[in-house]
Amino acid sequence: MFKLNYYRRIQLSFLLFIIVPIITVSVISFVLIKETMVEKLQLTNENFLNVMVDEIGKTIDDATFASHFIVNDTSFKKYLKNFADTDRLRSYDDYTNFTEIKGVFSLITSKPLNNNTRMYLVNRKRFIIPSSEDDTTGVNDRLDELYAKINFKQPETLQWLGMDRGDPGKDGTYYIARVIFDSREKQYLSVLIIGINQAYFEKLLKPVGFGKVALLDAKGNLIAGSAELSAPDPSVPASSLRTEVTLDKTNWTLVYEANKEAFTGKISRTFYAGIGGVILFFIIFSISSMYIAKRLHRPIQKLQRVVRQFGMGNLDVRLEVKGRNDIAELSQTLNTMLDQLQRLVHDIEREQEQKRVMELEALFMQIRPHFLINTLNSIKCSLILQKDRLHSGIIDSLMSLLRAYMKFNEPTSLRDECELMRHYIDIMKIRNDIPVRLEVELDPEIASWTMPKLMLQPLIENAIVHGLVDHPDAQITIRATKSRGFITIEIEDNGDGIEEKRRLMLNERLQSCDSGPDDPYDRVGLINVAQRLRLSFGSEATIALMPNAERGITAVLHIPDHEIRSLLPGRDAS
C-alpha cells in the first residue's frame, strides 16, 4: 500500500508548486492571446473591407459620374432626342446623330471607367450604341430580361438590375440602368445600361488569409465572391468572424467571413504542443526528483533503521558517519545519544543487580534463627541476676545489632542509627579491648531524618580497626548538619590516618563505586557504603575521605535532602 511519508509529501508539494503555476500561466496566456488575436483579426477584416469598399465605390462613382453627364448635358440630350426612334441608319442625318452620340459617349466613358465596365445607350427602338467597339450581342440577347427589370417610372435614377450569369463557361455581368427622360414630351428618350464584368468582382473578392469575401445585393443574392456566404442565420451559433459593410450610393453589402477555428487553430496547436512539452518535462522531472529524493531520504531511512534496531534491544548498533553535512552531524549526535542511552541502560542493569545482591544478603541475614536472640536474652537475664552489668550490657548491644541485621532493608532515623552505633562500639571495645569513646553532635532539625539502616557501621568499623588499634585515647565523633538542601554527615576519628596517595586512590574508587573481586574488606565496606548512597539517594550523594586536625581521617557523606528511594527491588521504604 502506498505510504505518503515525509519525503514523498515534500516531493509532491514541490511538483505541484511547479506544474500548477506553469499550467495556470499557460492557460491564461493562451486565452488572452487568443482573444487578442481574434480582436486583431476583426480589426484587420474591417480594414480589408474598407479598402474593398473604397475600390468598388470608386467604380460606382465613375459610372454615376458618366450617367449624370449624359443626363444633364443639353446638347447631348438633343442628339438623343433626334436618335430616339431610329431603328437603323437609313439616312445621312441618322448617321450624323449616331456619330455625334458615339463620339461624345466614348469621350465621356474613356477615362473614368476601368476595363471591366461597359456602357450602352439603348433608344426607344432598342438600337444599341456601345461606349466602345465591343460586341453588343450579349446585351442584345438579354435586353428583354433587362427591360423587364427596369422601372420606367423612375427616370434619371440608377436602378440595380442584378447579376446576369451569362452562358456556361463565361463570366457574368452585373447591370445598372438609368432611364433618360424628356420632361417636355413626358417620355423617355433612351436607357443607359452599365455593365460591370464579374471578373472585376472576382479578382477583387478573391479569398484571402483565413476567410472568404462576397458581395451581396439588397435581397441577399450573390453578386460575386464566395457562394458559401449568404445572409446570417440567427438560429445557428456563430463559429466564424463575420464583418459586413454597406456600400454608399448602392444597396450592396460587402461581407467578409473568417473561420475563427482556422485562425486560432495554429495558436491552439502551439498551446497544446507547449502543454505536451510541459507534461513531458513534468514526467522527466518527476522521475528525476524521485531518484534524487530517494537518495536524499536514504540517510533518514538509515536513521530510522538504527533507531528501530536500538529500540528492539540491539544496543551496539550505530550509524556510519560520512562527510560534514547536516545528516553527518545528526548521525554523530544520534550515535552520542545512543552511547549515553547504552551506558544508562548498563547503569540501570548494574543497579538492579546490586539491589538483587543486597536483597539476597538481607534475606541471608534474616535466615539466622530467632532463637539466637532468645538465647542471648536468657544469658542477659542470668548476668543481671549475677549482677554482672558489664556483660549484660554487651549482650544487650549485641541483641540490638542482631535485630538491625534482621531488618537490614528497612530505613531508620539518624538518631536511631547513632544509637545503634553506640551499641556497636560497646561490642568492639570488648572484642578488641580498645577504650573508644563516641561523641554524637546532631542538628535537632535532622535528628529524625530517614536513612538506610547500618549505613554508618562500615565507617565506624574502619575507624576502629584501621585507625584506633593500640590508641590510648581513641575517640570517634559523628556530626550531622543541614545546609542548602543537603545533609552532611561526618565520622571523624583521631587515629593514625592513611597515606595521601592511598587516600586519593580510595576517593577515586568511591566516586566511581567500582569494586573488584580482590579488594580488602575495608575497601569493600567503603564501596558498599558509596553504592548504598547512590541507590538510596541518587547520583548526587557522595562520600569522601578527608584528613582532619586530629591527624586522623574524617569520612564525609554529602546527601541530598529528599525522600529515600526504595532500598531493595520490589520493596518500598517505610
> Which domain CATH number covers 205?
3.30.450.20
> Average pLDDT of 170-178?
81
In the prediction, which pLDDT does 1 show? 42
* CATH code of the domain covering residue 429: 3.30.565.10
pLDDT digits (tens, 9 = 90+) for 480-489: 999 888 999 9
Q: Which domain holds residue 132?
A: 23-228+239-258
Q: Is residue 439 part of a domain?
A: yes
**Mean pLDDT, residues 310-323 taken together:** 77
Tell me the backbone φ, ψ of residue 186, rounded to 5 degrees. Answer: 60, 40
The three cell numbers of residue 289 are 526528483
Element spanning 175, H or E: strand 173-182
**pLDDT given at position 66:** 75
* Residue 4, all three cell numbers: 505518503
Query: Does residue 360 fall inside a structural domain?
Result: no
pLDDT at residue 570, as a whole number = 38
* Residue that wins the pLDDT comparison between 547 and 115: 547
Dig out the grid coordinates for 513 from the structure: 563505586
- Calculate mean pLDDT across residues 263-291: 75
* Alpha carbon distances (Å) from 394 to 375, 397, 398, 419, 424: 14, 5, 6, 14, 9
pLDDT tens across 518-563, in order? Answer: 455 456 778 888 888 888 888 889 999 999 888 889 999 999 987 6
- Mention every residue, 6+ apart, whose C-beta is less than 8 A from residue 541: 533, 534, 557, 558, 559, 560
pLDDT at 179 over 80: yes
**CA gap 94, 226 in Å, rounded:** 46
Ramachandran assignment for 166, one of left (phi > 0), alpha (psi -120 to 50 degrees), beta (any other) = left
What distance in Å separates the CA atoms of residue 482 and residue 557, rounded to the nearest whole number?
A: 12
Could you give the CA distance from residue 459 to residue 438 in angstroms, rounded to a whole number?
A: 13
**Which three cell numbers, joined as nine digits, stand for 477?**
565523633
Residue 112 has pLDDT above 60, yes or no: no
Q: Which residue has the higher pLDDT, 421 or 1?
A: 421
- Taking only the tens place, the pLDDT of each residue in 200-232 is 777 777 766 557 778 887 777 777 777 677 665
Q: Minimum mean pLDDT among 97-101, 522-526, 546-550, 567-571: which range? A: 567-571
Question: 377 lies in a domain?
Answer: no
Q: Percentage of residues in the chain with pLDDT exceeding 90?
A: 7
Q: For 310-346, what is the HEC assignment?
A: HHCCCCCCCCCCCCCCHHHHHHHHHHHHHHHHHHHHH
For residue 322, tell me if it sits in a domain: no
CA neighbor of 456 nearest in space, from 571, 351, 556: 556
Predicted confidence at residue 568, as pLDDT, reads 43
pLDDT for the residue numbered 343: 85
- Specify if 308 maps to a domain: no
Mean pLDDT of 487-497: 90
Q: Say if 263 falls within a structural domain.
A: no
Give mean pLDDT, residues 53-81: 78
At position 481, the amino acid (one-letter code) is T
What is the average pLDDT value for the chain, to the nearest integer? 77
Closest CA to 155 of 114, 127, 185, 119: 185
pLDDT of 486 reads 92
Q: What is the mean pLDDT of residues 100-121?
A: 73
H helices present in 368-442, as ranges: 371-385, 389-406, 414-432
492: confidence class by pLDDT, cuts 50, 70, 90 = very high
pLDDT at residue 517 above 60? no
- Alpha-carbon distance of 426 to 430, in angstroms, equals 7
In which band, very low, low, confident or very high, does the pLDDT at 264 lie, cut at 50, 70 and 90?
Answer: low
Q: What is this structure's pTM?
A: 0.43
pLDDT band at 235; cut points 50, 70, 90: very low
pLDDT higher than 50, residue 135? yes
Q: Domain for residue 290, yes or no? A: no
pLDDT tens sequence across 324-357 = 777 777 778 888 888 888 888 888 888 888 777 7
Give a yes or no: residue 500 inside a domain.
Answer: yes
What are the percentages of helix, strand and coil residues in the chain, rounded to 5? 55, 20, 30
Nearest to 493 by CA among 466, 517, 514, 515: 466
Residue of higher predicted confidence among 120 and 521: 120
Total count of domains within the chain: 2
Strand bridging mode 436-442 / 474-483: parallel
Q: How confident is the model at residue 4 (pLDDT cuts 50, 70, 90)?
A: low
The DSSP H or E segment spanning 223 is: strand 222-225
Residue 252 β-bridge partners: none
Q: What is the pLDDT of residues 403-456, one digit of tens each?
A: 777 776 788 899 999 988 888 888 888 777 778 889 999 998 999 999 888 889
State yes or no: pLDDT of 157 exceeds 50.
yes
Within 8 A by CB and 6+ apart from 505, the residues are none
Q: Which residue has the higher pLDDT, 392 or 263?
A: 392
- Lookup: cell for 247: 456600400
Highest mean pLDDT: which of 216-230, 258-272, 274-288, 328-342?
A: 328-342
